[in-house]
Amino acid sequence: MDIRLDGRRAIVTGAASGIGAAIAQSLSESGALVFLTDRNAAGLKTVAESLAGPSAQAVVDFMDDDAGERVVAAAVEAFGGVDIVINCAGVLETAPFGEMTATLFDRIMKINVRGAYTVTLAAFPYLSRGSAVVNIASGNSVLASPGGSAYATSKGALVSMTRGIAADLSPMGIRVNCICPGPIETPLLESALADPEINAMIVNAVPAGRVGLASEIAAAATFLASDAASYMYGASINVDGGTTAVWSPAAPGTSPEE
Ligand SMILES: NC(=O)c1ccc[n+]([C@@H]2O[C@H](COP(=O)([O-])OP(=O)(O)OC[C@H]3O[C@@H](n4cnc5c(N)ncnc54)[C@H](O)[C@@H]3O)[C@@H](O)[C@H]2O)c1
């Protein structure tokens, strides 16, 4: 399927790295004008320079209360409006439950949840019939892992947020959907994947037998952003090598006999 987004104006948060960078690349190849935002200025510049088509950018940190409004204001100034919002910025910060703090919880929720909510809220006045919002949640929204209680909370919230906002915007023909990626090879998972034991544990949990590529999430995001997904409203799609849907043998060493 040749997906075209010619002239559509897209905001991509978390665009300096990993999945966000791959989505920016894919939207640009499909003809969209891409507004990139991230807290990482150097990464943003590198990604912007690698894009096939026109782009603009702003360095914004979602720890700032007015970040969402600033992102949208800068995108509107650059392109005159917004048709697509991709909420991808996120952090995976973990701690065993006994070592969790309210401060860390607030930080994860502010970046992963409030960031996406406030960008969408600020973009709403510019969205119209045929516009699309895509939130990048996680398989951790349904399958939690140790130390990730706050992260899982934030990703579950993103799935519910997708449905909640879709309830209001669907009648206007504005489609709000989300993607739940499984383990994807990006800087977010770099240290875990570099440890052979953790790497094997992660791969063993994936029925497809490998971690995913950022481009595989970008393909789903580009589809959801396009008219090809014209009957998708409030959906949450798993792009995870089967991790959350298919039974897979337990990793060695996990049976009670061993
Ligand atoms: N990699 C995976 O296995 C995986 C799996 C499921 C979901 N996800 C989700 O996908 C999204 C992208 O992750 P990724 O794997 O590409 O990781 P990544 O670390 O490569 O990219 C995340 C980006 O978000 C930006 N960011 C973080 N905090 C920010 C803040 N306060 N303000 C502005 N920007 C900020 C980072 O600078 C970075 O560029 C995240 O929401 C993550 O939770 C990733």
Both tokens of residue 77? 């100034």
43 lines ligand 1 (CB under 6 A): yes
Does residue 254 lie within any of the structural domains?
Answer: no
Say if residues 139 and 181 touch (Cβ distance below 8 Å).
Answer: yes
Nearest Cα neighbor of 10 from 26, 2, 234 is: 26
Does residue 250 lie within any of the structural domains?
Answer: no
Cα dihedral sign, 91-179-175-76? positive
Does residue 4 lie within any of the structural domains?
Answer: no
pLDDT value at residue 255: 56
Domain that holds residue 183: 9-234
Does residue 28 lie within any of the structural domains?
Answer: yes
Does residue 246 lie within any of the structural domains?
Answer: no
pLDDT in tens, 68-90: 999 999 999 999 999 999 999 99
Residues 113-131, mean pLDDT to the nearest whole number:
98
CA distances to 31, 75, 249 from 37, in Å: 18, 9, 40
20 lines ligand 1 (CB under 6 A): yes
- Walk across the sheet containing 9-13 and list its strands: 55-59, 33-38, 9-13, 84-87, 132-136, 175-181, 236-239
Cα dihedral sign, 193-95-41-61? positive
Nearest atom (ligand 1) to Cα of 212: 3
- How much of the chain, in percent, has pLDDT values that exceed 70? 95
Q: How far is the CA of 21 from the centre of ligand 1 (A)?
A: 10
pLDDT value at residue 52: 86
Tokens 């006994």, residue located: 98
181 lines ligand 1 (CB under 6 A): yes
pLDDT in tens, 124-160: 999 999 999 999 999 999 999 999 999 999 999 999 9
Does residue 241 lie within any of the structural domains?
Answer: no
Q: How many domains, in total, are found in the chain?
A: 1
Say if residues 241 and 216 touch (Cβ distance below 8 Å).
Answer: no
pLDDT value at residue 247: 81
Q: What is the CATH number of the domain that holds 75?
A: 3.40.50.720
Nearest atom (ligand 1) to Cα of 112: 41
Does residue 96 lie within any of the structural domains?
Answer: yes
Say if residues 88 and 44 touch (Cβ distance below 8 Å).
Answer: no
Question: Is the pTM for the entire model greater than 0.85?
Answer: yes
Does residue 105 lie within any of the structural domains?
Answer: yes
CA distances to 1, 161, 216, 240 from 118, in Å: 33, 11, 27, 27
Both tokens of residue 224? 């959801």
